[in-house]
Structure 1
């Protein structure tokens, strides 16, 4: 039946302003339907930050999604699938922006042909879009979220999480990256492996950063790492010299940043590097972006970057299974990149996961509820980075983490780290 909520959302979207499509758009759905229940031509949207520090990664995810749909012949089962890429960022913000993210979700919820949504890149953005999409019953797959509270109330979640993201009481969300329970363990373990007996954490106070910092603290107790402090930062500060000076007085032997690049991560690392000249500087996948590590894109200078280690979920491309190696070959042939950004893989797998859910829904592949159910029922899928399932909360069952160094403006795989959560 027609969803009154979706109609109201569509009207609200106009008040929030139009959301521009980017150059990755492949057109929008045009079929008529009843809330995604009977359309023969369906639309899968993505919502990613196409401006700012994560632009390169987001465009890679868009390309990966486009490749997946192309390989599927633009179909899922008997349904024709169209893809439309939306931007959840603004140039002024330099990353995702709540109003734009909300408008994207409202637009999709109000489109009767919409059957799936790839996004968001940032966990904080998903906290905005997920309740809207859940109310509309749209299956959502994130190629970038890791915050614990999006899917569970495990340690690291805030009060009210995750229930506040699912107003229908039914899960409609999954992600292709492991939750930060594992990344927190990876960062704490990495600090110990680097010879640190203690560490100081700065977090950016967003859903992702604040939650991950808590996970690092919890994991630190297990591995015997003393946490000298865990403080939130002012992302708009001109510099962090006074903060760095205070950290120095604690005697912390390692520095751990918990947050995203767009929240002034480059300046933070530069100032901490001066105050702690001998300390390893550790960061999560939230800074695994060209805007952080490539000086040509405003990233870290070489002398600071040489001391940085970044934890990244998944295995190195050299360790991909056959499906992953086939993806790399196909991506290189289409886009001319032999070593694509890892978000190309995440975008590809996110699209494939949605297409698979639609296909498995059979004749009900145009029904949002049926597709969301199949998404959460994914079992033993042969994905590009290994065989995995999606658990009842929407979490992927693959949990390995790699450690990357920064050299010549690029991330270079160093080693794997065993993150025991």
Structure 2
């Protein structure tokens, strides 16, 4: 566990100790992230973004009757069992009113199915992108502030075809995230006339994937598309493909847009590596978030920070609108962000609180875009293709 992850766990202990203080009861929301596991390098920034929303609420009068909003951090470890355990603790022991997270699709599906749906607790994931989440029988309690991978996979396929990639091989991690993204990509790439010269799932955590890579390259593709995590198995695949010259070009999904490949492999070795990722639409809301997050010491360009912030701020608005009633949070979540009402930008808690008290309709304008949920709790989104530039990622083109 890295130092930032340890700090987050320490923050959880401090928050729990604070919650034991008397006076008015704190209002708790769970922040369930992949603090350990394959996205451990991404998770701290995501949790920090959610904590920014919480700190803004508390700095502007608190929630409900002046209570403090507390983010209870839990480690979902980016796997189903971790997600279930973290959600069980958050709901049954901490008594959270709602949950931001988990971060990974498998953890979302397990936590929702086993814990939050039966308990009637609203869950908003900022990064669980599997298409399977859309079809959950969830009594309208599962939402996300990030678009489904069905959209990302198809947009990436169209973008690659437009840029002249006619023949690719696809390696994907054998979990809900990898499978959903790979299937949508394959379907669209072939529909666009592209050739999938190799297509195979792989298991997490092996020391060597050279035999997998050799088989994938046997179809003659020069480009390998990797749907995995850049902090985990995806990094191993990329390293071994480069070391052995199996492929010339590399394309990753959003899970591969991590600092880890740059730090471990060097930017000079990643000149033909690109990755797709959701991006916030250019707006006053995004500018406002970027300035606030940067001022709090965060990196506005880190992956999923806008969606994490939006998830936390939206839940705070919904809890306020519902008067703290867990059973009313889902309906309130739809009411505070549906394209109708007075605009609320990131950080405008005091303004929103007064309007809610006055019975005036509000419409949250998110850092990641207008978070207007459809019937399944999904949102539209905007993606871009990134390249490595120095020690960071830079946008190459938008994806449509």
| TM-score clears 0.5 | yes
- 1:410 pairs with 2:392: yes
Tell me the SS of whatever aligns to 1:229.
Answer: strand
Aligned to 2:279: 314
Report the TM-score when normalising by structure 1. 0.79
Contact 2:213 2:246 in 1 (8 A): no
How far residue 179 of structure 1 moved from its aligned partner, in angstroms, is: 0.3
What is the aligned counterpart of 2:262 among 274, 294, 313? 294
Gaps of 5+ in 2: 1-5, 340-363
Say whether the 8 Å CA contact 1:210–1:259 is kept in structure 2: no
Q: Distance in 2 between matches of 1:23 and 1:413?
A: 35
Superimposed CA distance per residue, residues 159-179 of structure 1 (whole angstroms, 9 cap, x where no aligned partner): xxx34xx3xxx0211111100
Distance 1:407 1:247 in 2: 28
Distance 1:99 1:227, change over 3 A: same
Q: Distance in 2 between matches of 1:330 and 1:31?
A: 29
Partner of 1:49: 34
Relative distance call for 1:248 and 1:407 in structure 2 (3 A) is same
Tell me the SS of whatever aligns to 1:55. coil
Instruction: Show the counterpart of 1:7.
Output: none
What SS does structure 1 have at the residue aligned with 2:147?
coil
Query: Alpha-carbon deviations, 1:34-92, whole Å to 9, x = none?
Result: xxxxx963211111122355334211122211211222236334362222112223xxx
**Which shifted more, 249-258 or 338-347?**
338-347
Q: Indicate which of 180, 187, 194 corresponds to 1:225.
A: 194
Provide the alpha-carbon RMSD of the alignment: 2.6
Match status 1:70 vs 2:55: yes
**8 Å CA contact 1:196, 1:253 repeated in 2:** no
Q: Secondary structure at the match of 2:97?
A: strand
Q: Which runs of 5+ in 1 are unaligned?
A: 1-18, 33-38, 90-95, 153-161
Greater relative contact order (Cα < 8 A, sep 6+)? 1
Q: How high is the TM-score relative to the length of structure 2?
A: 0.83
Give the stretch that moved more between structures: 19-28 or 368-377: 19-28
Work out the CA distance in 2 between the residues paired with 1:126 and 1:311: 22
Q: State the partner residue of 2:288.
A: 326
55-64 or 124-133: bigger deviation? 55-64
The alignment partner of 1:311 has SS state of: strand
Q: 1:347 to 1:130 in 2, by over 3 A?
A: same
Cα 1:395–1:224 change in 2 (3 A) is same
1:357-377 Cα shifts (integer Å, max 9, x gaps): 11222xxx3221200222245
Equivalent residue for 2:326, pick from 359, 362, 368: 368
Partner of 2:315: 354
Select which of 377, 384, 387 maps to 1:394: 377
Shift of 1:328: 1.5
CA distance in 2 between partners of 1:98 and 1:227 (Å): 30
Q: Could you tell me how far apart the structure 1 residues matched to 2:94 and 2:38 are?
A: 33
